[in-house]
């Protein structure tokens, strides 16, 4: 995958243009989410990964991709009301997090969108302790995405798995 970038420019009258950031959008439980593209290491088909365990829980096992062993979290189980359908073409978003590399299974990857900070609005009625939800991103075309801090969200998921063990 190519390296994400941000852009900034100064307009003729001296005002700075908004800084655009790339976000990877994905579907999960009937909603559309977005995460900072800088956390995306690669997209891999689930069928292309060597899996060592699959217990059906949120932490659906450990896999190896390109020589890297990583936990795989099936977010479809964590966010969905129903057991997910396993499709050999299902994509795994391989994430580069602060403390580890981790795979995340979703209902599907949509595309890469550009958003600036002004396009990400606070979540209405959201509790302050849900700090992994950054807000609602709205594209110029009016598409709405739930923007997540994937590092914080995965830290919560990893913590719950450790306490359950």
Do 86 and 74 meet the contact criterion of CB atoms below 8 Å apart?
A: no
Per-residue pLDDT of the chain (165 residues; tens, 9 = 90+): 444 444 444 455 556 777 899 999 999 888 999 999 999 999 988 777 776 655 544 456 777 777 878 888 888 877 766 666 666 667 889 999 998 999 998 888 999 999 999 999 998 876 666 789 999 999 989 999 999 999 998 887 555 443 344
Q: Give backbone dihedrals phi and psi of 39, rounded to 5 degrees, phi first.
A: -85, -5
**In terms of C-beta density within 10 A (0-12 exposed, 13-18 middle, 19 or more buried), how is residue 11 classed?**
exposed
- The pLDDT value given to residue 21: 95
> What domains lie within the chain, and their CATH numbers?
21-116 (2.40.50)
* pLDDT computed for residue 1 by the predictor: 44
Gyration radius (Cα) of the chain, Å? 17
Q: What is the pTM of this model?
A: 0.78
């Amino acid at each position: 995958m190519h390296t994400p970038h941000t852009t900034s420019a100064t307009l003729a009258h001296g005002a700075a243009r908004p800084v655009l950031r790339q976000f990877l959008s994905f579907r999960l439980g009937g909603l559309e989410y977005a995460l900072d593209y800088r956390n995306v290491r690669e997209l891999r088909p689930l069928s292309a990964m060597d899996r060592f365990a699959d217990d059906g829980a949120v932490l659906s096992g450990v896999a190896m991709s390109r020589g890297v062993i990583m936990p795989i979290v099936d977010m479809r189980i964590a966010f969905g009301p129903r057991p997910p359908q396993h499709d050999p073409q299902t994509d795994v978003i391989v994430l580069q997090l602060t403390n580890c590399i981790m795979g995340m299974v979703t209902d599907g990857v949509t595309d890469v969108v550009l958003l600036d900070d002004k396009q990400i609005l606070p979540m209405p009625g959201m509790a302050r302790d849900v700090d992994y939800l950054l807000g609602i991103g709205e594209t110029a075309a009016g598409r709405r995405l739930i923007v997540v801090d994937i590092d914080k969200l995965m830290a919560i998921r990893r913590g719950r798995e450790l306490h359950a063990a």
